[in-house]
Amino acid sequence: MRAGSSAAPIRTKDRKKPMRTTAPKYLLVADLLAKEISNGFPAVGELLPKESDLIERFEVSRTTIREALKRLVSQGLIETIHGVGTKVVARAQNQSFMLTSRSVSELVSYGAGPTRYLISRRESLVLRPEDTAVLKMPTGDTVLRLAGKRVNRADTGVVVSVCRIYVRKPYLSAVAHDREMDTAVYTQISEAFDSTIQKIEQEIQAVFVSPEEAELLHATPYSPALQVVRRYFFEDPEPFEVTVNTYPGHTFTYKMTLNRAAGTAS
């Protein structure tokens, strides 16, 4: 299953020539609005122009504008207030240290050693606004949530991480119903739909182990841990799957090598 967007030019009323790019139009609109907000136009506390005004300015569809605004909401820059409008709440995106990997295959292979998923809970979930901040999936969407743990395949007593897996409704048919799985869910979906993963977003954040997680991880409650969130994309603007893994701090090491690009200054 593949979905794509055309590379039609984005236009704004104050440009003489259209901007030509292969990026989705909603991303271009969102990026331009984010830059304007970072420069104080509109300022924090002020309202964005009306949806109809943005449609006229950028000469794009209502859907494109709404997708762009949804992206700014997820970045924490704006919020929509019923009966008031869309208000700017921050000039800069609130984010932690983030790694952008240039190799999808490298990131997919990371952590893909001999582990097994032991699924203890499987349920349907309607996403709330607070869920979308992490998942980057639309509020109100119904997803499948799998909860359990990853263990060493050779010794299932060794717990690697506590995991939560969220799968969007169109892809549920590809997910195995087994309580024990050696194949990652994103691999199951990719193979079933004969689609290649185009992008992965990964965020790593320091957290504390909850009492429930501590029992599964054989760790001390509220001890340090690392939470790794991965969002998997085909060609749609929204992920088809999101995984949230919590690793005990003393067992997790993330190693990467940065190579200087040719021709860059020190």
Q: What percent of the chain has pLDDT over 90?
A: 42
Return the pLDDT at 18.
45
Return the pLDDT at 154.
81
Query: Which domain CATH number covers 76?
Result: 1.10.10.10
pLDDT greater than 80 at residue 169: yes
Return the pLDDT at 98.
43
3-state secondary structure the chain: CCCCCCCCCECCCCCCCCECCCCCHHHHHHHHHHHHHHCCCCCCCCECCCHHHHHHHHCCCHHHHHHHHHHHHHCCCEEEECCCEEEECCCCCCCCCCECCCCHHHHHHCCCCCEEEEEEEEEEEECCHHHHHHHCCCCCCEEEEEEEEEEECCCCCCEEEEEEEEEEHHHHHHCCCCCEECCCHHHHHHHHCCCCCCEEEEEEEEEECCHHHHHHHCCCCCCEEEEEEEEEECCCCCCCEEEEEEEECCCCCCCCCCCCCCCCCC
Question: What pLDDT band is residue 9 in, cutting at 50, 70 and 90?
Answer: very low
Asked, for residue 128, whether it belongs to a domain, the answer is: yes
Same domain, 69 and 168: no
Same domain, 135 and 243: yes
Into how many domains does the chain fold? 2
Question: What pLDDT band is residue 21 in, cutting at 50, 70 and 90?
Answer: very low
Asked, for residue 165, whether it belongs to a domain, the answer is: yes
Compute the average pLDDT of residues 108-123. Answer: 76
Return the pLDDT at 175.
94
Asked, for residue 263, whether it belongs to a domain, the answer is: no
Same domain, 192 and 217: yes
Asked, for residue 97, whether it belongs to a domain, the answer is: no
Kindly report whether the global pTM for this prediction surpasses the value 0.75. Answer: no
Per-residue model confidence as pLDDT tens digits over 37-55: 988 899 988 999 999 999 9
More confident residue, 251 or 200: 200
Per-residue model confidence as pLDDT tens digits over 125-143: 999 988 888 899 988 999 9
Which residues constitute the domain of residue 114? 104-248
Per-residue model confidence as pLDDT tens digits over 172-181: 999 999 999 9
